[in-house]
Amino acid sequence: MPVHLYWGDDEAARERAIEALIGQVVDPAWQSLNLSRLDGRDPDQALQALAEARTPPLGGGARLVLLQASPFAERCPADLADRVEADLALVPESCHLVLSSSGKPDARLRTTKALRAVADERSFVLPTVWDGAGQRQLVERMAADRGLRLEPGAADALADAVGSDSARLAMELEKLDLHADGGPIRRGAVAALVQGHSHTSLQVGESLLDGQLGLALQQLDDLLAANEPALRIVAALVGQLRGWLWVSLLDRQGEQDVAVIAKAAGIGNPKRIYVLRRQLRGRGPDVLLPMLEGMLEVERLLKLGTRPADAFRDGLLPLAAEGR
């Protein structure tokens, strides 16, 4: 199929799939003429991608046109949408138009409907930081894609160490494969060769909820020392705090339907509401709102260029004064 729609927040996996497709269809000897990499944030390059995808390849192999940050399935202006619908049918079988974006296609757009009628669509979505089962599935899927065997317990150990970082997971699997020398990857090898974080962002949130600010700051230092991006930590903590806040507010209003609470909180698995309720143990919004305000202050400081460790301390230490 000459049109490919790749989307999702797992940028590393998307890039691997794109490079694999390039290796399959583009002749290396003719790559300079038959491979184009364009940026969809520029309207002129988006139009150029459509034009080049209609042009037959030169020499051997196929032509591949890659449009990164494709606007066609997310925020497509009317004039560009008309061109998309007209040009899709003109892409020859010897050409491949690859549309890549981080966001989920907007099913309401006519361009999305037109693309889905003809495209090979693949999603690359990372599991959330609290989705342990999803992280294990990510490990198992990436290992299977590489033809690797995992002994019982190895997938869990890798998921615990790497979490949802697919780029790091790919690197660790390559290292473990070399160590296994054709055999299965063992849990002991994961423990010996893969350095996991001694703390996670979610554990930081639980420490803050328990009023253990000193412990939370130590855990944050550990994450930063392990090269965990500060803004990623903030994003995980803000999501965790917002989930708690929604559960707390709706419980206070007397809402009992976990499906309703999960939808309001943006949580995919309603069963997780029971876990959040246990974690809250009756704590109300008056405890959670200052914590959320503190994390938003940390984000502001980080974006102003404050050193990450200082940003977390400056944003969260006011909680101690409030007795949180």
pLDDT at 281: 83
- Tell me the CATH number at 150: 1.10.8.60
pLDDT at 114: 92
pLDDT at 51: 93
d(CA 222, CA 227): 9
> Same structural domain for residues 35 and 57?
yes
For 18, the token pair is 């794109």
> Same structural domain for residues 152 and 206?
no
At which residue do the structure tokens 């003719």 appear? 30
> Same structural domain for residues 14 and 93?
yes
Quick check: 204 and 237 in contact, CB under 8 A?
yes
Quick check: 299 and 266 in contact, CB under 8 A?
no
Bridge partners of 96, per DSSP, are 64
- Tell me the CATH number at 116: 3.40.50.300
> Same structural domain for residues 305 and 274?
yes
Residue 321: partners with Cβ closer than 8 Å, 6 or more residues away: none
pLDDT at 105: 92
> Same structural domain for residues 208 and 289?
yes
pLDDT band of residue 34 (cuts 50, 70, 90) is: very high
Q: pLDDT tens, 171-197?
A: 889 999 999 888 999 988 888 888 655
> Same structural domain for residues 74 and 111?
yes
Q: Show the domain range for 258.
A: 201-321
> Same structural domain for residues 81 and 44?
yes
pLDDT at 321: 64
State which of 103, 123, 143 marks the end of a domain. Answer: 123
The count of domains in the chain is 3
- Tell me the CATH number at 243: 1.20.272.10
Cα of 122 vs its chain's centroid, Å: 14
> Same structural domain for residues 154 and 246?
no
Q: pLDDT tens, 226-237?
A: 778 899 889 889
Please give the mean pLDDT across all residues of the chain.
Answer: 88
pLDDT at 197: 52
Q: pLDDT tens, 271-303?
A: 778 888 888 887 888 889 999 999 999 999 999
Q: pLDDT tens, 57-72?
A: 999 999 999 999 999 9
pLDDT at 198: 44
Sheet with 95-101, strands from edge to edge, namely 35-39, 63-68, 95-101, 3-7, 120-123
Average pLDDT over residues 216-241: 87
d(CA 295, CA 315): 6
> Same structural domain for residues 173 and 213?
no
pLDDT band of residue 103 (cuts 50, 70, 90) is: confident
> Same structural domain for residues 66 and 152?
no
Share of the chain above pLDDT 90, in %: 44
Phi, psi at 65, each rounded to 5°: -115, 115
> Same structural domain for residues 311 and 230?
yes
Task: Indicate the residue type of 8.
Answer: G
State which of 66, 94, 123 marks the end of a domain. Answer: 123
Q: pLDDT tens, 133-177?
A: 788 889 998 999 889 999 888 998 888 888 777 888 888 899 999
> Same structural domain for residues 13 and 117?
yes
